[in-house]
Amino acid sequence: MEDMDAGHFISRNKKAVRFDFKNINAQCRGCNRFQSGRQFEHAKAIDRKWGAGTADALLIKSKQPCKRGRADYLVLIEEMKEKLKKFKA
């Protein structure tokens, strides 16, 4: 797994989907860094994993304004901690 990245289908610059688990998937380091994440293939993989239309929904969500404050990030941190517990179990 050391040659894998957390590949984002939609760029992390789009804050509305930056922390959306459906947007973040394990991806070959070479594909993620040097082939623009192979976005078309990534979209197809997302739809296989999460259901048809998920990639389109992420694209729409990414265009929505998103302004987070400190409290929002604290909530996100707690949510991530809970999700990580499932992986450690």
Q: At what angle do helices 39-50 and 54-62 cross, to 10 degrees?
A: 120
pLDDT per position as a tens digit, 23-74: 998 888 888 888 877 899 999 999 999 999 999 999 999 999 999 999 999 9
Q: Name residue 85's amino acid.
A: K
Q: What pLDDT does residue 42 have?
A: 92
C-beta separation of 9 from 42 below 8 A? yes
**Continuous segment of H or E residues that includes residue 24:** strand 24-28
State the distance between the two ends of the chain, measured CA to CA, in whole angstroms: 19
